[in-house]
């Protein structure tokens, strides 16, 4: 078993595509067709030179049915969300609240930050979010935050290191 930091799998050894079971191979192919190109376009590395998946994708191969369902939710969230791309990015911002946010962006940040850190949203913030984004937008924000927390949980639990910058 891999130990922390000795490879791009963190605590999980990277799986060789040739050794995958049929359900894992199906997910692997889906990731190769969707997430690997997206990651490359977005400036992230999603696989090694020998096409082993890294990042959250290596961990997802351990539970291919759940991962496939998560990918469906991810696709649906991206396609049907009521939130603008900027609000989605701000909702996922980590650390300090950016100073130059619009009123809508500030509500999105406050809502998701409070939800992620306390698992509660008080009545005043809830009302602000409903007025700003509507019920659908609030549900969409919660789903987006849940997806982010799932991916963060995979990366952090399995101590997946960031790959070295590509040159």
Up-side HSE of residue 56: CA atoms within 13 Å toward CB? 19
For the chain, the structural domain boundaries read 1-80, 82-157
Strand partners, 53: 47
d(CA 48, CA 22): 21
Mean pLDDT of 47-71: 97
11-26 pLDDT tens trace: 999 999 999 999 999 9
User: pLDDT tens for residues 79-121?
Assistant: 999 999 989 988 887 778 888 899 999 999 999 999 999 999 9
């Amino acid at each position: 078993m891999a130990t922390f930091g000795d490879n791009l799998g963190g605590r999980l050894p990277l799986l060789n595509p040739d050794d995958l079971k049929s359900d894992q191979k199906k997910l692997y192919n889906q990731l190769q067709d969707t997430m690997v190109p997206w990651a490359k376009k977005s400036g992230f590395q999603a696989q090694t030179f020998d096409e082993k998946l890294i990042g959250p994708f290596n961990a997802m191969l351990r539970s291919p049915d759940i991962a496939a369902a998560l990918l469906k939710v991810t696709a649906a969230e991206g396609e049907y969300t009521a939130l603008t791309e900027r609000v989605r990015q701000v909702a996922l911002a980590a650390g300090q609240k950016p100073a130059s946010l619009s009123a809508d962006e500030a509500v999105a940040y406050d809502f998701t930050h409070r939800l992620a850190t306390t698992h509660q949203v008080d009545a005043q913030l809830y009302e602000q979010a409903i007025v700003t984004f509507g019920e659908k937008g609030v549900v969409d924000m919660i789903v987006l935050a849940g997806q982010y927390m799932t991916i963060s949980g995979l990366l952090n639990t399995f101590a997946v290191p960031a790959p070295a910058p590509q040159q």
